[in-house]
Amino acid sequence: MLLDYFAAMAARSAVAPARWRRPFLKWLDGIEQGWAIPLLIVAFAAAWLVFLTIAYLSGDLHADALETWTIGREFAWGNAKHPPLMGWAAWGWTLVFPLNDWSFQLLSMTNAAVALWAVDLIVRRFVRGDGRAGVLLLLMLLPAYQFHAQRFNANTVLLAVWPLATYCFLRSYESRAIGWAIAAGVFGALAMLGKYYSVFLTGSFLLAAIAHPQRALYFSSWAPWASALAGLIVLGPHIHWLATSGAAPFAYAMQVHGGVPFGPSFLEAGAFLLGIAATVALPAFVWMLSAGRRLSLFGADFRAMNPGLQLLFWIFVGTVALPTLVAIVVGTDMPSLWALQGLFLLAILVVCGASYTLERLYVVNLVVMVGAIAAVAIIVAAPIHAYYRNNINPNERSYYRLAAFELTKRWRAISDKPMPAISGDDGLAFATAFYSPDHPVYRRPFQYQYTWGMPRVTTLEKGWAAMCFADDQACRGWMDKVVAIAPEFTRVDFEVIPYLWGRAGPPGRLIALMMPPQDDRPVATQAPSTAASADFSSSHRQPAP
C-alpha cells in the first residue's frame, strides 16, 4: 500500500508539481546544460566545510591530517610508514594555501568534491540528466565524503584517485586507445602511491579485464601493455626507494595489521563485509523505497547490463572479494573503512543498470534529504559538538594548538634560537610541528613509533624538545630514559585551558623536556609546575574580553 501511495504521488507531481519543488526541477533541467552538477558538488563541499569549521572551533586538526603535513614537508619518494601521495598533496597544497586549520579543512572537502566530479565522469557515460544527479545524491548519503573525508590521510586521498583510475581504465578498455591506456596506468600507479591497499583496485582491473566478454579484443591490443609500462614508470622511483630502504612501509603494515590467527582473521573478513553493508544501508533503503515494485526487474536488468557496466561490476566484485580473501589467507585485519573509496561503483551499478529512471519526485526528495542532513549538521550538531568537546569531554585535539604555543613560549625562555626538533607523543609532536611558529621538525622516526627509541646524540646536540600528556605513563617513562642519557635539560609541567565562546573547558596537563642547542645551553634546571593558557593561541581559544 505504501509503495502504491508513493507511486501515485510521483505521477501527480509529474503533472502538477508543488510550487516549492519548481526551483529543484529547474535545477534538474540544468544538468545537461552543464551547471547543475558542479553547483551540487560545490554546495555539498561548502556546506560540510562550514560544518567542520563550527564543529572544531574548540578542536584542532586530526592527528592523521597533521601527520600528512609532516610527511609532506619535503618531497620524497617514500616514507617508513605510508606511500608518499598524501604527503605530496599536502606539500603542493601548502605551496598555495596558508598553514592553518581552515586550509586543511578546505583541502579535505576539495578532495571530496574532486572525487564526486570523477564519479560523474563515469556516470555520464551511461545515463543523462536526473540519473547523474541520482548517483551523486545517493553517494552524499554515505559518511565517506564528509565525515571520513575530513581526515586527509592515506585513506581519504584515494577518494578521488580511485574513480579517476577507474574512469581511465573504462575508457582504455572500451577504446583500446594508447592515450587512455597510459592514463589508466598512471592513475593506477598513483592509487598505489596513495595506499598499498590499492593493489586490490589494480587487481580488480585485471579480474574485470579477464572476466569481461571482450577480453580477447583488449588483450590482443597494445592497451594493457601500455598501461602496465606507464604504471611501472610512475612507480619506478618508489620501487627503487623500497628496494634501498628495506621496504619499511610493508614492515610497518604487517607490524600493525598482520599476525592475526585464522579464526580471528575469518571474523575480521566477516566484519569487513558487514561494515560495508552497514555503510550503504541508508542509500540502499532510500533507493528501494523510491524504486518500489520495480525492484522485481533487478534480475532482468542485471542480465541486460551493457558492456561498460559489466566491467564496473567485476571491478566492484574484485574490490570487495579480494581484500576479504586476503584477510583470511594472509592473516590480517581489514577495516571496512578502507573500502569506502570504492563504494561509488555500487551506486553507479544500481542507478545506471536500472531499466527505468526515478521520477523527479524522488530525485527532488533526495536533494531535500541531502540538504536537510547538512543543515541539521551545521545548525544543530556542529555547535553541540564544539561545546561538548570544549566544556564536557575534550579529547587530545582540544589541546594540540595550545600545547604547541605554550611549549614554544617556554623554549624561547631558554634559547634565542627557534625550536629545531620535536618528539614525544605523536599527536602532540605533529601538532607542534604544524602549529608552532618555529615549525620544528618531527624527529621520532616512523619505524620507531611503537618502540619509543631514544633520540640520537646528534639530534640532542642540535636542540630538541619532547612533550607528553601527563597521564600517558608510557610516554613519561620514555622521557625518564631520555633524561638518563642527556644530563642537560629543562623539564616543565604545565596546563593549557581551551576556551570556547568565553567559557573555559577542563585544563589539559602536559609535561615537556627541552634541550637547547649545545652552544646555547644553560645550567640544567627543573622548572616548577605552572598552569598556563598559551599566549600565542587564536582568538577562539581565549576568554571574551
pLDDT value of position 536? 37
Contact yes or no for 195/144 (Cβ under 8 A): no
pLDDT tens-digit profile of 122-171?
A: 999 999 999 999 999 999 999 999 999 999 999 999 999 999 999 999 99
The answer to which of 254-268, 270-284, 374-388 has the lowest mean pLDDT is: 254-268
pLDDT confidence tier of residue 78, bands split at 50, 70 and 90 = confident
Average pLDDT estimate for 8-13: 58
User: Would the pLDDT of 254 be above 80?
Assistant: no
User: Would the pLDDT of 501 be above 50?
Assistant: yes
In the chain, how many H helices and how many E strands?
A: 24, 9
The single-letter DSSP state of residue 8 is H
Query: Is the four-CA dihedral 189, 194, 199, 200 of positive or negative sign?
Result: negative
* Nearest of 94, 160, 108, 79 to residue 342 by alpha carbon: 160
Q: Which three cell numbers stand for residue 167?
A: 574512469
Contact yes or no for 366/287 (Cβ under 8 A): no
Give kind and range of the element (H or E) at residue 249.
helix 248-257
Neighbours of 344 (CB within 10 A): 29
pLDDT tens-digit profile of 403-451?
A: 999 999 999 999 999 999 999 999 999 999 999 999 999 986 544 455 6
Report the C-alpha gap between 117 and 414 in whole angstroms: 52
- Mean pLDDT, the chain, integer: 88
pLDDT value of position 10? 58
User: Would the pLDDT of 100 be above 50?
Assistant: yes
At CA 392, angle to CA 388 and CA 393, rounded to 5?
85
* Nearest of 406, 382, 384, 393 to residue 541 by alpha carbon: 406
Contact yes or no for 126/356 (Cβ under 8 A): no
CA atoms within 13 A on the CB side of 182: 4
CA 285 to chain centre: 25
pLDDT tens-digit profile of 11-40?
A: 556 555 778 889 999 999 999 999 999 999
Neighbours of 33 (CB within 10 A): 8
Query: Is the four-CA dihedral 182, 184, 187, 188 of positive or negative sign?
Result: negative
Give kind and range of the element (H or E) at residue 424.
strand 421-424
Give kind and range of the element (H or E) at residue 236.
helix 223-245
Q: For 459, left (φ over 0), alpha (ψ -120 to 50), or beta?
A: alpha
Phi then psi for residue 151, to 5 deg, are -90, 95
Residue partners of 33: CB distance under 8 A and separation at least 6 = none
* Nearest of 223, 217, 224 to residue 176 by alpha carbon: 223
CA atoms within 13 A on the CB side of 54: 17
Neighbours of 294 (CB within 10 A): 16
Residue 225: beta bridge partners? none
Report the C-alpha gap between 475 and 457 in whole angstroms: 19
Q: Which three cell numbers stand for residue 256?
A: 600493525
High-pLDDT (> 90) share of the chain, %: 71
Average pLDDT estimate for 386-406: 95
Strand 525-526 with 499-500, pairing: unpaired
pLDDT value of position 417? 93
More confident: 260 or 57:
57
Task: Give CA torsion, residues 440, 445, 448, 449, to 10 deg.
Answer: 50
Report the C-alpha gap between 475 and 512 in whole angstroms: 10
Contact yes or no for 153/86 (Cβ under 8 A): yes
pLDDT value of position 231? 97
User: Would the pLDDT of 76 be above 90?
Assistant: no
pLDDT confidence tier of residue 211, bands split at 50, 70 and 90 = very high
Contact yes or no for 479/466 (Cβ under 8 A): yes
pLDDT confidence tier of residue 481, bands split at 50, 70 and 90 = confident
Report the C-alpha gap between 142 and 520 in whole angstroms: 54
The single-letter DSSP state of residue 527 is P
pLDDT confidence tier of residue 280, bands split at 50, 70 and 90 = very high
Contact yes or no for 343/119 (Cβ under 8 A): no
pLDDT value of position 259? 62
User: Would the pLDDT of 534 be above 60?
Assistant: no
Characterize 46-59 residue by residue with b for buried, 16 or more Cβ atoms within 10 angstroms of its Cβ, and e for exposed.
Answer: ebbbbbbbbbbbbb
Neighbours of 162 (CB within 10 A): 28
Q: Which three cell numbers stand for residue 132?
A: 547523474
The domain spans of the chain are 2-378, 396-541
* Nearest of 408, 407, 428, 416 to residue 494 by alpha carbon: 407
pLDDT value of position 18? 77
pTM score, two decimals? 0.90
Instruction: Please give the radius of gyration of the chain, using alpha carbons only, rounded to the nearest integer.
Output: 26
Contact yes or no for 47/372 (Cβ under 8 A): no
